[in-house]
């Protein structure tokens, strides 16, 4: 990688560390190319990105960002996963780490808040933004549906009573 490419990488990572909702850092202890590709695909599905970069360049990019304290995690072969949604990437990386011992979670950051391994797992346990939106829509629609059933019930009951009287007089 040439010097100019390194500068561009540091600049793009600096923007990521400054603006991203959540960052997860993990050790790559022997993941195959296929496994890393699988992890990247899973993270991409939820709107995130997985990067493998030189630790020295990442440490340069971390300077003057809210996630600057993550610098201590960058020793050895590391992977960075990030996204704007604070739940999606932790959920995918924790699930992937459970099924693959070669990915070891180290921690992460959510804005200026540093996360240890338990913090990342706690985020992963939360419902995603889409799930929360679905629950909110369901909660908002439930009263309207109940109101519609209550309002439509009396005419239906009245129709059944009239029908019963009609059948009774036909039978007589």
Any idea what the Cα angle at residue 63 is, between residues 7 and 81, rounded to 5°?
80
Where do the domains of the chain lie?
3-126, 127-172
Given this model, what pLDDT does residue 65 score? Answer: 87
3-126 — its CATH code?
A: 3.30.70.1730
Q: Global pTM?
A: 0.71
Segments of the chain scoring below 50 in pLDDT: none
Given this model, what pLDDT does residue 36 score? Answer: 92
Sheet-wide strand order for 113-115: 49-51, 78-83, 22-28, 103-110, 113-115
Given this model, what pLDDT does residue 87 score? Answer: 87
Question: Would you say 65 and 71 are in contact if contact means Cβ atoms under 8 Å apart?
Answer: no
Question: Would you say 107 and 21 are in contact if contact means Cβ atoms under 8 Å apart?
Answer: no
């Amino acid at each position: 990688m040439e010097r100019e490419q390194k500068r561009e990488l540091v600049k793009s990572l600096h923007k990521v560390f400054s603006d991203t909702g959540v960052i997860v850092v993990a050790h790559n202890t022997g993941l195959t190319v296929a496994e890393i590709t699988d992890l990247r695909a899973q993270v991409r599905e939820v709107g995130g990105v997985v990067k493998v970069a030189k630790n020295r360049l990442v440490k340069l990019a971390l300077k003057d960002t809210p996630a600057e304290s993550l610098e201590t995690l960058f020793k050895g072969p590391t992977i960075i996963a990030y996204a704007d949604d604070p739940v999606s990437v932790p959920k995918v990386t924790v699930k992937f780490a459970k099924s693959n011992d070669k990915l070891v979670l180290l921690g992460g950051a959510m804005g200026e808040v540093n996360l240890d391994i338990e913090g990342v797992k706690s985020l992963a346990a939360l419902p995603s933004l889409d799930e929360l939106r679905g629950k909110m829509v369901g909660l908002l629609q439930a009263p309207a549906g109940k109101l519609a059933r209550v309002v439509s019930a009396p005419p239906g009951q009245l129709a059944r009573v009239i029908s019963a009287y009609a059948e009774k007089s036909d039978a007589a």
